[in-house]
Amino acid sequence: MSTADVQTGHTPEDLLTMPDAVSCELVDGELVERNMGAVSSWVAARVLALLSVVVERDSLGWLLGADGSYQCFGDDESRVRKPDVSFICRGRLPNETLPQGHVRIAPDLAVEVVSPNDRYYEVQAKVVEYLTAGVRQVWVIDPDNRTVTVRVLDVDQPTELREHDELTGGDVLPGFRCLVADLFRSPVDEPNASD
């Protein structure tokens, strides 16, 4: 997220109507551009694809990509965040329907993929915001280190997973599991290269 590229005085509704705000979040009335490099974008797409298999197979709920926006932060009702990937369990949305605008409830899972220009403290601030809003699990995926840091609501210690470790959805996404290495497997890798 680049704080150099900000404009002030915007509302959550502005994000829905401004064509150039699609890659922005809203923090303290400022449009903050989200950084996504090619690698981080590709990893986010991999996560979305891997999760979608289980979510669709088991009818678990709603899976949103990087432009899915959340206005669910009680301490700042104008704040809007856009996780790279997010998931909402079935049965939590009114009438089981996504809104036309921002989602007003916290997702059950928020995934942030670290981009080259992301600052550590900004990513950590987002994690705290998600957990404070009630997100049950937050995954921070670092393509450079090929790790996933898992934060669980009401659990103080994060869990850091490396390539040989298994990532699971826990009680948020039962039935989901993959090796961390699978998140980074390129299309030219051999199918069992990480085994």
CATH number at residue 107: 3.90.1570.10
Is residue 3 very low, low, confident or very high in pLDDT (cuts 50, 70, 90)?
Answer: very low
**44 closest CA partner among 82, 83, 84, 81:** 84
Q: Residue 98 and residue 119: Cα distance in Å, rounded? A: 31
**Nearest-5° angle of CA 21, CA 23, CA 24?**
65
In a domain, 4, yes or no: no
Mean pLDDT, range 43-70, rounded to an integer? 95
Q: What contacts 12, CB < 8 A, 6 or more positions away?
A: 26, 71, 78, 80, 101, 102
What's residue 8's pLDDT?
55
Q: What contacts 1, CB < 8 A, 6 or more positions away?
A: 25, 32, 33, 34, 35, 118, 119, 122
In a domain, 162, yes or no: yes
Mean pLDDT, range 166-194, rounded to an integer? 87
What's residue 74's pLDDT?
86
Single-letter residue type at 67: D
Q: Residue 7 and residue 43: Cα distance in Å, rounded? A: 29
**128 closest CA partner among 153, 111, 103:** 153
Mean pLDDT, range 32-40, rounded to an integer? 79
Single-letter residue type at 17: T
CA dihedral 136, 57, 23, 14 (to 10 degrees): -80
In a domain, 13, yes or no: no
In a domain, 53, yes or no: yes
Q: What contacts 155, CB < 8 A, 6 or more positions away?
A: none
Counting Cα atoms < 13 Å in the Cβ hemisphere of 126 gives 25
Number of domains observed in the structure of the chain = 1
Asked which of 45-54, 67-76, 160-169 is least confident by mean pLDDT, the reply is 67-76
What's residue 1's pLDDT?
41
Domain that holds residue 84: 35-183
How much of the chain exceeds pLDDT 70, in percent?
A: 86
Task: Please state, rounded to an integer, the average pLDDT across all residues of the chain.
Answer: 87
In a domain, 5, yes or no: no
In a domain, 153, yes or no: yes
The answer, yes or no, to whether residue 143 has pLDDT greater than 80, is: yes
In a domain, 9, yes or no: no
In a domain, 6, yes or no: no
